[in-house]
C-alpha cells in the first residue's frame, strides 16, 4: 500500500510540474545529472552527488556516507535534476545535520532545489550553474486555493483522461492518503530548517505564463539577493556577473521572479478540513489537527 501511495504521489507531482528538464540534444552535464542511480562518493572533505534522487540513489548515498561524523566533511558538491520528494528530504536532513556547504556544480532542480539546496549552512552556485524550482508537495493545496476548489477536486485534475470513475476515485484517495503523511513530513522538514517554503511553491501552475508572460521555461529562479530575502541566506554565485544575468543555465531554463512576486503569489492560506492533507510548510502554520 505504501508503494502504491508513493507511486500515486509521484505521478501527480510529475503531471502537475510538467516535463522535467530535457533537451533534444541533451548536454553531457544534464545526462550525468539524471543518472540512475546517482553516483555518490566521498573524496577528502567533500561529498559528491551526481544524478537522480530516488530510492536506488539513496541506497548509494547511505552506503557512501556510512560512518561519516559531523565535522568530517565541509561541503557537498551536487548536480541533480531532482526526483523523489521523500528521498530528497532524506538527503537534505543529512546535509543539515552535518552542517555542509552545498555547492551546485551544474544543476540543482526540482527536489534538489526543494530540499538539498536549502539544507546547506551556506550555498554556492558555480559559474553557469543554476538552481530552479517547479513546485513541491504543497502545490496541490496551493492550486486548490487558487482555483477555489476542494483539495480532492484539484487532485482529480491529474487523473489521466478516460480513467474509469472507480479507478479515478481510488487514485485520488491514495494520493490524499500519501499527502497526509508526506505533506506533514515536508512541513516538518522546512520547520527544522527554519524556512518558509514559498521559494519552492509560489509560481506553481500556469503563473509563469499567465502572470509574467514567460514561455518555454522549465521553472523559476531568483537572483541571489532575492534568494536571501526568501530565507536562503549565505548564497553566492561564482560567475563574473550577476547570477540571473550571467548563468547560461539560468538564462536558458528559468523564468526570473522576485521575492516580492513570490510572496504575492502566496497569500496566507485559510486552513480548512479539506485542505489538511497537504499542510502549510511555514513554521508559523502548523498542520491541521485531526
Q: What is the 3-class SS of the chain, one letter each residue?
A: CHHHHHHHHHHHHHHHHCCCCCCCCCCHHHHHHCCCCCEEEEECCEEEEECCECHHHHHHHHHHHCCCCCCCCCEEEEEECCECHHHHHHHHHHHHHHCCEEEEEEEEECHHHHHHHHHCCEEEECCCCEEEECCCCCHHHHHHHHHCCCHHHHHHCCCCCCCCHHHHHHHHHHHHHHHHHHHHHHHHHHHHHCCCCHHHHCCCCCHHHHCCCCCCCCEEECCHHHHHHCCCCCEEECCCCCHHHHCHHHHHHEEECCHHHHHHCCCCCCCCHHHCCCCCCCCCCCCCCC
pLDDT of residue 158: 85
Instruction: Say what the pTM is.
Output: 0.85
Q: State which fold the 21-136+214-264 domain adopts.
A: 2-enoyl-CoA Hydratase; Chain A, domain 1 (3.90.226)
pLDDT of residue 274: 42
Domain ranges in the chain are 21-136+214-264
Show the low-confidence residues of the chain (pLDDT under 50). Answer: 1-2, 5, 8, 11, 14-15, 17-19, 270-290
Instruction: Report pLDDT digits (tens) over 161-198.
Output: 889 999 999 999 998 998 889 999 999 999 999 999 99
Amino acid at each position: 500500500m505504501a508503494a502504491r501511495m508513493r507511486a500515486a504521489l509521484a505521478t501527480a507531482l510529475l503531471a502537475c510540474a510538467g516535463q522535467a528538464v530535457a533537451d533534444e540534444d541533451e548536454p553531457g552535464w544534464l545526462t550525468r545529472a539524471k543518472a540512475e542511480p546517482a553516483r555518490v562518493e566521498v573524496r577528502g572533505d567533500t561529498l559528491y552527488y551526481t544524478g537522480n534522487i530516488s530510492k536506488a540513489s539513496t541506497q548509494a548515498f547511505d552506503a557512501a556516507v556510512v560512518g561519516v561524523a559531523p565535522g568530517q566533511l565541509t561541503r557537498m558538491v551536487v548536480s541533480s535534476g531532482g526526483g523523489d520528494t521523500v528521498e530528497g528530504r532524506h538527503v537534505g536532513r543529512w546535509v543539515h545535520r552535518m552542517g555542509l556547504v552545498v555547492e551546485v556544480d551544474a544543476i540543482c532542480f526540482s527536489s534538489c532545489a526543494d530540499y538539498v539546496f536549502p539544507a546547506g549552512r551556506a550555498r554556492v552556485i558555480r559559474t553557469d550553474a543554476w538552481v530552479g524550482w517547479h513546485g513541491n508537495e504543497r502545490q496541490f493545496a496551493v492550486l486548490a486555493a487558487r482555483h477555489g476548489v476542494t483539495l480532492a477536486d484539484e487532485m482529480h485534475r491529474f487523473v489521466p483522461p478516460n480513467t474509469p470513475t472507480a479507478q479515478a476515485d481510488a487514485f485520488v484517495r491514495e494520493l490524499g492518503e500519501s499527502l497526509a503523511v508526506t505533506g506533514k513530513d515536508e512541513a516538518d522538514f522546512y520547520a527544522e530548517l527554519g524556512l518558509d517554503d514559498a521559494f519552492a511553491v509560489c509560481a506553481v501552475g500556469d503563473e509563469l505564463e499567465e502572470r509574467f508572460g514567460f514561455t518555454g521555461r522549465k521553472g523559476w529562479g531568483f537572483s541571489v539577493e532575492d534568494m536571501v530575502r526568501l530565507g536562503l541566506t549565505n548564497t553566492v554565485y561564482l560567475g563574473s556577473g550577476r547570477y540571473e544575468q550571467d548563468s547560461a543555465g539560468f538564462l536558458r531554463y528559468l523564468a526570473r521572479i522576485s521575492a516580492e512576486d513570490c510572496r504575492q503569489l502566496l497569500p496566507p492560506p485559510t486552513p480548512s478540513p479539506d485542505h489538511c492533507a497537504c499542510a502549510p510548510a511555514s513554521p508559523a502554520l502548523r498542520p491541521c489537527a485531526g
